[in-house]
A and B are shown apart, each in its own frame.
Chain A
Amino acid sequence: MTLSSPPNQPDPLSGRLDGNAAAGQLREIFAVDLTAAVGCCSGCGRTGAIGEAHCYGPAPGIVLRCTGCDGVLLRIVTTDDRVWLDMRGLSILQLSLRG
């Protein structure tokens, strides 16, 4: 698989994008948009929108890291028929129920 950043590959200078780039993959799994959700980093306690997290990828999966401590918030690996999701770096995820 290849993924995925608006509109193309990650910036070669920094090698990363932001959590917005993971929106499509996350919406394959979750019924709600996660980029507008506020997450709390289990490493340093910083809170912020998932869309603002640093995003590395795409191969072999997407890694979202905290903008404060650079700790891993979320990892997602997708193959043709399976998804692995590791969210241990997020102690809390706060979602809006309004559109």
Chain B
Amino acid sequence: MARAAVLGRLTWRAATVSAVRRESATARTLTLDVPGWPGHLPGQHVDLRLTAEDGYTATRAYSLASAAEGMRIKVTVEQVPDGEVSPYLTTQAAPGDRMEIRGPVGGWFVWRPDQPGPVQLVGGGSGVVPLMAMIRGRSGSGAEVPMRLLYSVRDPAAVLYGDELAAAADRGVRVDVVYTRDAPPGWSRPPGRIDHRLLADVTVAPAERPTCYVCGPTAFVETVAELLVRVGHDPSRIRTERFGPSGGRR
């Protein structure tokens, strides 16, 4: 993956579901075996194509949830009500099922383990998925750069990767969770949206020049990016990726 930029045109590869894990009431992680997978960087995504028996195809993009690990990739899919693809992936897809994958794609919203400087991650809803790949990538590579995650989520039941995020805290990744609708009893902060005070309190100080990665629904991303600039972060060090409907609205 060292020469990720110069790979030639991408084509579709066959993929087989090897494992399924439920992450929340509405989200599942699919582990896919993809022969010939060239590896990827945290933050990249794949296009996933399903073909019906009558030949009809549907394609969607999903962020990779895993750090690179051989020919095996993971995507976490949140169900979209009335969605065409996600209900299948979140309720029916089972080990042995086949689909097609095009990727990895995207070179902008990526974190490279050898990238210098601290990292601030801000995720809204299922926007945490590519950020989880970055946390996993840091852990897997032995990188020791400071990394923090601010995770905005509707309520405790919607939290993805809860146990793993708690464990990441033990490995030097600071994780702050803000609940927008319902917080657990006794939680330190009442339910509410991210504001500039919270950002100033819990994010890496602008003076330390972190690279900021913000991922979530469009409105969330644009609000947070503006607030980050307002509390002093360098706009050129803020990278954003907008998801479709997710988190609180899904």
Contact assessment for A24 and B108 in the assembled complex, using a CB-CB cutoff below 8 Å: no
Binds A, one of B59-67, B155-163, B175-183, B189-197: B59-67
Contact assessment for A18 and B244 in the assembled complex, using a CB-CB cutoff below 8 Å: no
| B115 at interface, CB cutoff 8 A | no
Chain B residue nearest in CB terms to A14: B218
Contact assessment for B9 and A29 in the assembled complex, using a CB-CB cutoff below 8 Å: yes
A81-99 with Cβ < 8 A to chain B: 95-99
With known contacts A17-B242, A32-B6, A99-B5, A11–B108 Cβ distance under 8 A: no
Contact assessment for B84 and A35 in the assembled complex, using a CB-CB cutoff below 8 Å: no
How distant is the Cα of A12 from the Cα of B10 in the complex, in angstroms? 30
Contact of B103 among A5, A13, A24, A49 (CB under 8 A): A24
Interface extent on B, as a size class? 35 or more
Contact assessment for B244 and A4 in the assembled complex, using a CB-CB cutoff below 8 Å: no
Contact assessment for B244 and A35 in the assembled complex, using a CB-CB cutoff below 8 Å: no
With known contacts A8-B83, A30-B9, A1–B59 Cβ distance under 8 A: yes
How distant is the Cα of A13 from the Cα of B248 in the complex, in angstroms? 13
Contact of B105 among A2, A18, A24 (CB under 8 A): A24
| B25 at interface, CB cutoff 8 A | no
Report how many residues on chain A are interfacial, defined by Cβ distance under 8 Å.
40
Contact assessment for B107 and A3 in the assembled complex, using a CB-CB cutoff below 8 Å: no
| A64 at interface, CB cutoff 8 A | no
Contact of B59 among A3, A31, A32, A96 (CB under 8 A): A3
| A77 at interface, CB cutoff 8 A | no
Contact assessment for B7 and A31 in the assembled complex, using a CB-CB cutoff below 8 Å: yes
Q: In the assembled complex, how far is the CB of residue B132 from the closest CB belonging to chain A, in whole angstroms?
A: 13
| A75 at interface, CB cutoff 8 A | no
With known contacts A2-B59, A5-B61, A20–B241 Cβ distance under 8 A: yes
Query: Taking beta carbons and an 8 Å cutoff, which residues of A are in contact with B?
Result: 1-14, 16-21, 23-24, 27-33, 35-36, 49-52, 95-99
Which 8 pairs, one residue from A and one from B, show the smallest C-beta to C-beta distance? A51-B108, A33-B107, A8-B244, A36-B107, A23-B105, A24-B47, A11-B218, A99-B4
5 pairs across A/B with beta carbons < 8 Å?
A: A11-B243, A20-B242, A23-B61, A28-B9, A32-B6
